[in-house]
Structure 1
Amino acid sequence: MKNIIIITVLVLLLFVPFTGKIALFDWDEANFAEISREMIVRGDWSEMTINYEPFHEKPPLFFWLQAVTMKTFGINEFSARFPNILMAILTLSLLFLAGKKLKGNSFGWLWVLCFGGSFLPQFYFRFGIIDPLFNLLNFISVLFIFYALNDERGKVYKWAISGLAAGLSVMTKGPAGLLLIVLPVVVYLLFQRKYKKIKIYQPFFWLAACMLPSAIWFLFSHHEGLFLKDFLQRNIELLTNADAGHGGFFLYHWLVVFAGMFPLSILVFYSFRQKKEKDSDFSLLMKILLLTVLIVFTLVRTKIVHYSSLAYLPLSWLVAESMENIRHSKSVLPVFLSVTAKIFAVLAGLMMMSAIILLKFRSQLIDWTDDIFIRECLLAEADWNNQILITTIVLAVIFVATIWLWINKPFSMKLFYLNLAVVLLISQWFWIVLLPQVQKHTQGAVVEFSKSVSGNEPYIITMGHKSYLPYFYGKVKEDKDFKGKNKYEVLLTPVRKKLYIISKSDKAAEIAEMYNLEEVYRKNGWVFMIRKFDISE
């Protein structure tokens, strides 16, 4: 219990401060937070809507968690992100307990540090997205099947816990969770011939527990099967087509996963170099789970960075195990791994420095593009002062230096802790200092405008691009005049409230002329307009 309390305190200290100080990000964060806000506004938690139209792309579990925190802490950024702070506590606690059970107390902590001290796992817990909950439930399901298979008595409650976690995973993101659970477990069973230990009634307990959450929801909801039809259609589209703005090259997720846990991810190659007979049962399962996630999302046409985030859980186990083996043998990394890690570290450091230098001297870049919108975004009034520039460059240099030191002595725990501290420091610096400035170039003006008109009970639409920010920050309410109409029909519909339109600057003139709109003002590449004709009485 003491260790769990320590994990809880550390997570709260690391994630709670400044969580609500940064605006939500389009698309996913703003989309999900708006769905949860509309649940509260409508007073109906059985159905999801976005802009008060049915939303059937995701099941409701995560939105229920967000809605609960919004009812508790208010409708704001902190509430939208707080569920994932809880997921951080639960996930790290689970890793500690599982690591302790399988390999001892010290390994439990090592697993926690490898996972929680890496860049992308940290950032996932800071954002109001579905994946941390989805990943936790999937991992619980796989873990408890492993426990059940390796328990001489194969206790039924372990099968039931696994099934319930799988069912809740389906309630979080749909049946994709079942694929990520069942596929690696089946491969593991075939490899280890563990299927012989399964008693015929045990899978039925798993299946019953799995079906329970969805059955309860369908019983009390009133979507009459429309949700299931739309949900399946949308997910087939994501599997077979690259969603708008979310394409990517074939090995996209392999690079994302490697970079997201760098430099520790370099050790996964060390793990795969081990002979199969040296693998523990659980290590084999983790390798299968890691490869399953990477292969499945490589085949999926839509490429989004957090799709493959489940991979960090098995990857961190393999990294921690490799670290333990290297520490005990006091061995060094093979030359090709050492050189690869050092080159990647230098490239990462140069990218950090280049990005901050380009933003500092962005006014010199506008002649490189003819895109009006990009030019105006670059010229936004962000404060890229010398202190930010110098501090970021210094952090980049320290990051590269600590990686080089650790790569030369991977068995040194002092260098591991130093590297961990640098990663945590850079993550905090990025969240607290850099991201607020970046938002000024991207969506800051949209958030500012939406907040400014929120007291007027406005109706806001976007033209020429998609955004969920105006709904959330404009506190848009349901309007029967617009029910069931697309944005083009809305522009031609007389209503009893002000209708605002947001467009990118390169498309605003054409849209304003076409629909008889009047410009209110423009800022940082965005143009804010209002419809000219009178509001109906």
Structure 2
Amino acid sequence: MAPLSSAHSLQSTAPWLRDLLILAVLFGFLFCFSLGAAPLIDPDEGRYAEIPREMLERGDLITPMLNYVKYFEKPPLLYWLNAGSLKLFGQNEFAARLPSALSGLLTVLLTYWAGCRLLGRQTGLLAAFILGSTAGFLFQSRIILTDMLLTLCLSSALFCFALGVYGREQRRKLFFRLFFVCCGLAVLAKGLIGIVLPAGIIFWYLLLGRRWHLLAEIPWFSGLLLFLLVTAPWFVLVSLQNPEFPHFFFIREHFQRFTSTIHRRSQPVWFFLPMLLLTMLPWSFLLPGSLAKAWRDRHATRDSTLFLLLWPLVIILFFSLSSSKLIPYILPVFPPLALLVSHRISAAWNSRRPDHTPAVLFLGSLLLCVGGALAIMPLLEWLPPFLHSTGQLGRELATMLSGPAPVITLSKTIVPGGLLAGTGLLLLIAVRTRSTVVVVALLCCFGILLELLLPWAFARYGAERLSARPLAAAALRHAGPETVLAQIGPRQGMNFYTGRRLVTVGDYDELTFGSQQGDHRDWFMDQDQFQRLWQSNRHALIVVPRHQQSAYRLANGADAPILADNGSLLLLSNR
């Protein structure tokens, strides 16, 4: 690994354009391959595809609307990008997911570029391969989430700040100004955390690194002006058009979301630690040693590894203290962690006894055992009775193994189990060769294999049950211009696939605020109101959970016809 002091001389001679091209082609394929194969999954994907569809339909890019009512939970940057993609490529799953996938790809390329300048070309290149072969990072980039776009914007901001600190003298102010621009984009991507998180990270860096003098080198006036130029226009326009916006967005969606459980996303304070270890496979086994090395090397690297260390720690601590927790919240920690793991591996690249050997041995042994158990799981006759005694989840798994029509069969477990066991065996053999190149190549291949298998398995075995696509297709076949389309609770995939507004019955959930802005009584009904419509002469179709089927019968008491069934939801007709 090139030391920090020689990083700038290295970047002038390194073939960075060739590196970027190779990375763009390789990971561009992985991030975009078969991107439109699976249907949109509710609620997130349906929501973030439907809002831009409605923006295009209404010709209004200022006020976000969902099921044709105001929706102010998120700023508009992802909506704008998705609207542009839908305009270019049509109303389909590929177009809806493309901006998120490109955000993930650009984050990989950005990590390489910044890593080269902070820690040398070898570390930057290896970090890009680590990030791109992290199973959870790629999988979450292939679904529509605001968090992947936020990750790109936050990473751009924080890398720009780091390059402003450690870069060439003549470019330092440029990078500091770009920091403010990227913070503004992060705010437009997901709100005030786009500035709160960078401020927290930089505060602790200045405190622990004793670098308060940097505050005098930051061009505050021009930087804040650029920040306001990026963020203020939309916030001013949407507030002028919608006076109720400021209180809802800043108070409810920021302060109350952080301090209360109004969105029913409460998890224990340690929630993100196991989630990080799971989503950063296979590199998570190298994390503890990488974090320790970053702390030890902080002075040797002029505190650049201290900055990269504080970046994930502050974000994880921030969201751990929040009352609202979801796995994608920690996506912005992946780029610095990839660099820290790369820094550790690069330091021992030519060593015959690298310090990551015990972690790789443990991972290889675990994969061998887990893969072998998975491969033969359907043959274990004692397993279903044992699972049945462990609770509701265990009973469901037992039914999948040994029910009348078992879902988990030997033909479905032998291949993935064999691949896991084979990878574990190869890792154990590779450790004996004492070759870091072979170990890293195997870990990258394993991560990429997971990245290919997870979307394939999800599209084949789980996506239809979580999507409204088959129900929407059936609704379009059977509905006329006057037919009422309804659903129990909001499922925005129905809106996207039908291109129509739906009546929401029962729990309005995230549409509650919008339903109260103006007169929407004909579109939001309780169960009694809709039952009266259901029993009338007007043709109605409704999407209901399977367990609520009996609540919707025909006027003569007969069962309502089932027009479509995706495994968990039914489309019923009152005729």
TM-score normalised to structure 1 length = 0.86
Q: Give the conservation status (yes or no) of the 8 Å contact 1:166–1:178.
A: yes
Equivalent residue number for residue 239 of structure 1 = 258
Equivalent residue number for residue 255 of structure 1 = 274
In structure 2, give the amino acid aligned to 1:211.
L
Determine what percentage of the aligned residue pairs are the same residue.
Answer: 20
Structure 2 residue runs of 5 or longer lacking an equivalent are 1-16, 504-517
Q: Distance in 2 between matches of 1:86 and 1:121?
A: 13
- Say which of 298, 305, 317 aligns to 2:339: 317
Q: Distance in 2 between matches of 1:453 and 1:367?
A: 41
- Say which of 174, 196, 217 aligns to 2:213: 196
Equivalent residue number for residue 435 of structure 1 = 459
Q: Distance in 2 between matches of 1:234 and 1:81?
A: 25
Identify if the C-alpha distance between structure 1 residues 383 and 66 changes in structure 2 by more than 3 Å, giving closer, same or farther. Answer: farther
Q: Distance in 2 between matches of 1:211 and 1:355?
A: 58
**What is the deviation of 1:2?**
2.5
Q: Does 2:252 correspond to 1:230?
A: no
Equivalent residue number for residue 38 of structure 1 = 54
Equivalent residue number for residue 283 of structure 1 = 305
Equivalent residue number for residue 165 of structure 2 = 149
Q: Distance in 2 between matches of 1:478 and 1:243?
A: 25
- Say which of 500, 503, 517 aligns to 2:544: 503
Q: Distance in 2 between matches of 1:314 and 1:264?
A: 13
Q: Distance in 2 between matches of 1:176 and 1:382?
A: 46
Pairs within 5 Å for 1:40-439: 40-151=56-167, 152=169, 155-199=172-216, 202-221=219-238, 222-232=240-250, 233-242=252-261, 246-274=265-293, 275=296, 276-333=298-355, 337=359, 341=363, 345=367, 349=371, 387-405=411-429, 412-439=436-463
In structure 2, give the amino acid aligned to 1:249.
P
Q: Give the conservation status (yes or no) of the 8 Å contact 1:145–1:158.
A: yes
Structure 1 residue runs of 5 or longer lacking an equivalent are 533-537
**What is the deviation of 1:157?**
2.2
**What is the deviation of 1:176?**
1.3
**What is the deviation of 1:23?**
0.7
Q: Give the conservation status (yes or no) of the 8 Å contact 1:167–1:210.
A: yes
**What is the deviation of 1:56?**
0.5
Q: Distance in 2 between matches of 1:246 and 1:503?
A: 23
**What is the deviation of 1:509?**
1.8
Identify if the C-alpha distance between structure 1 residues 200 and 284 changes in structure 2 by more than 3 Å, giving closer, same or farther. Answer: closer
Q: Distance in 2 between matches of 1:262 and 1:356?
A: 25
SS of aligned partner of 2:25: helix
Identify if the C-alpha distance between structure 1 residues 30 and 356 changes in structure 2 by more than 3 Å, giving closer, same or farther. Answer: farther
Equivalent residue number for residue 535 of structure 1 = none
**What is the deviation of 1:140?**
1.1
**What is the deviation of 1:71?**
0.7
**What is the deviation of 1:168?**
0.7
Q: Quote the RMSD (CA, aligned, Å).
A: 3.7
Equivalent residue number for residue 569 of structure 2 = 526
Identify if the C-alpha distance between structure 1 residues 529 and 214 changes in structure 2 by more than 3 Å, giving closer, same or farther. Answer: same
SS of aligned partner of 1:198: helix
Q: Does 2:37 correspond to 1:21?
A: yes
Identify if the C-alpha distance between structure 1 residues 219 and 243 changes in structure 2 by more than 3 Å, giving closer, same or farther. Answer: closer
Q: Does 2:487 correspond to 1:462?
A: yes
**What is the deviation of 1:381?**
9.0
Q: Distance in 2 between matches of 1:476 and 1:176?
A: 34
Q: Distance in 2 between matches of 1:223 and 1:410?
A: 65
Q: Distance in 2 between matches of 1:481 and 1:529?
A: 27
SS of aligned partner of 1:59: coil
Identify if the C-alpha distance between structure 1 residues 517 and 186 changes in structure 2 by more than 3 Å, giving closer, same or farther. Answer: farther
Structure 1 residues 471-502: Cα deviation after superposition (integer angstroms, max 9, x where no partner): 22222248999567423287268699843222
In structure 1, give the amino acid aligned to 2:466.
Q
Structure 1 residues 172-228: Cα deviation after superposition (integer angstroms, max 9, x where no partner): 100012121110111111222222133376123222222222212134445334222
SS of aligned partner of 1:21: coil
Equivalent residue number for residue 491 of structure 1 = 530
Q: Give the conservation status (yes or no) of the 8 Å contact 1:169–1:177.
A: yes
- Which structure is higher in RCO with an 8 Å CA cutoff and minimum separation 6? 2
TM-score normalised to structure 2 length = 0.80
SS of aligned partner of 1:277: coil
SS of aligned partner of 1:4: helix
Q: Give the conservation status (yes or no) of the 8 Å contact 2:86–2:95.
A: yes
Structure 1 residues 98-124: Cα deviation after superposition (integer angstroms, max 9, x where no partner): 122223322221010111011111112
Structure 1 residues 484-533: Cα deviation after superposition (integer angstroms, max 9, x where no partner): 7423287268699843222222223235599x99623163243322356x
**What is the deviation of 1:97?**
1.3
Structure 1 residues 68-110: Cα deviation after superposition (integer angstroms, max 9, x where no partner): 1101111111011111232133212211211222233222210
Q: Distance in 1 between matches of 2:156 and 2:115?
A: 13
SS of aligned partner of 1:24: coil
Q: Distance in 1 between matches of 2:222 and 2:378?
A: 55
Q: Give the conservation status (yes or no) of the 8 Å contact 1:460–1:501.
A: yes
Q: Give the conservation status (yes or no) of the 8 Å contact 1:406–1:419.
A: no
Q: Give the conservation status (yes or no) of the 8 Å contact 1:518–1:529.
A: no
Q: Distance in 1 between matches of 2:33 and 2:43?
A: 23
Q: Distance in 2 between matches of 1:116 and 1:210?
A: 30
Q: Give the conservation status (yes or no) of the 8 Å contact 1:331–1:411.
A: no
Structure 1 residues 315-339: Cα deviation after superposition (integer angstroms, max 9, x where no partner): 1111000111122443344797567
SS of aligned partner of 2:144: coil
Identify if the C-alpha distance between structure 1 residues 186 and 488 changes in structure 2 by more than 3 Å, giving closer, same or farther. Answer: same
Q: Give the conservation status (yes or no) of the 8 Å contact 2:136–2:281.
A: no
Q: Give the conservation status (yes or no) of the 8 Å contact 1:138–1:165.
A: yes
SS of aligned partner of 2:463: helix
Q: Distance in 1 between matches of 2:269 and 2:33?
A: 38
Q: Give the conservation status (yes or no) of the 8 Å contact 1:338–1:408.
A: no
Q: Distance in 2 between matches of 1:243 and 1:389?
A: 40
Identify if the C-alpha distance between structure 1 residues 382 and 65 changes in structure 2 by more than 3 Å, giving closer, same or farther. Answer: farther
Identify if the C-alpha distance between structure 1 residues 389 and 370 changes in structure 2 by more than 3 Å, giving closer, same or farther. Answer: closer
